[in-house]
Amino acid sequence: MADGSPVTARFDPYAARAQFPILSRTVNGKPLVYLDSAASAQKPRAVIGTLTGAMEGSYANVHRGLHTLANETTEAFEAARESVARLLNAPAASNIVFTKGGTEAINLVASSFGQSIQPGDEIIVSEMEHHSNIVPWHLLRERRGAVLKWIPVLDDGSLDMAAYAGLLGPKTRMVAVTHMSNVLGTINPVAEITRLAHAAGARVLIDGCQGAVHARPDVQAIGCDFYVFTGHKLYGPTGIGALYGTAEALEALPPYQGGGEMIETVERERVTYASPPHRFEAGTPPILEAIGLGAAIDWLEGFDREAVLAHEHALYDHARARLEGVNWLRVIGEAEGKGAILTFTVDGAHAHDIAQVMDRYGVAVRAGLHCAEPLAKRFGLTSSARASFALYNTVEDADAFVDALIKAREFFA
């Protein structure tokens, strides 16, 4: 998209958009312009059809069944695990644990790893983290006496890496940071963050709920111990996510929940546990959701991911250029190489009001604290609005966003 064209030989956003039935609807008499994908992405026909097909044609509980439907469903479920491993460039499918989302994946690690936390042990997070990567560690502060330390965020929205290096020490047990900020769009240098943490003897967890969609994760290149993401931001269903862990890191974790599937043997006097990943998948898993996630990943792999990311960046740049010099707009987060998230405030208007007025024109943006209250306080905000671009958005969407934003500003001027 270097030539400014919305279509290239490598990626056609209009063809991609046509695969999303919901994007043909209208809102308040206007064509829907959906710019809330950072909260949850829409679903293509490939995912919808896979879910429907699984429910209509071949469904049963997975593993241990000896009948045809059980075998077919197990094959589809485990094929989805292979798809996740391929997405992340994990060494093997056994590195992948299915969870009900990114939040549960982080809680799994915090709860299991946290059993070894002693008073005074330190956990490092950043000021830009989503609450899902803050609150589980706070629970360890409350229950185990852990000490939370915070990596500062610079004015442009990037991490203060010099300050981070100074936070690491002999008591550091875990570093938990986001791959890509859901507010700022900042893409963090996670490989360097990991390298420094490992040199200090700490584990590393990367929150990839945005990064898995917009930052081409490669867990082997990053070198992290854990990487988590959620399916619903990756064009898949809700209620499904995944935890990647190195074989050594997963083997070191005690079980997170107890029940069927995660055991090896159960006796009156003792219980032995299954090896990862099944050790962490107690009970009937989110079977249909996992199959749907696998379909979303397989569908996404049909595109040139670099071309998709270039397209998303071009839309961000187009909207940003149209707003250049506007004196009533404050953009939050302009780090170099950031993802296609435009978070902003409008002078004289609350973000909630701006979002509601923009909705009158069919433009869907998010408003509030974006589950990142420490970051909001860092920038002196009580709320902000956010437009997030995805592969199905077009130049026309970016223009509609700017036009609606200008009209919303005029409404409150």
Residues labelled catalytic: 371
C-alpha distances (whole Å) from 285 to each of 78, 86, 103, 260 are 12, 21, 16, 10
The residue type found at 227 is Y
CA–CA gap between residue 199 and residue 220 (Å, rounded): 17
Whether 292 and 50 have beta carbons less than 8 Å apart is answered as yes
CA–CA gap between residue 348 and residue 94 (Å, rounded): 53
The structure tokens 């209509």 sit at 56
Return the number of other C-beta atoms located less than 10 Å from residue 142's C-beta: 9
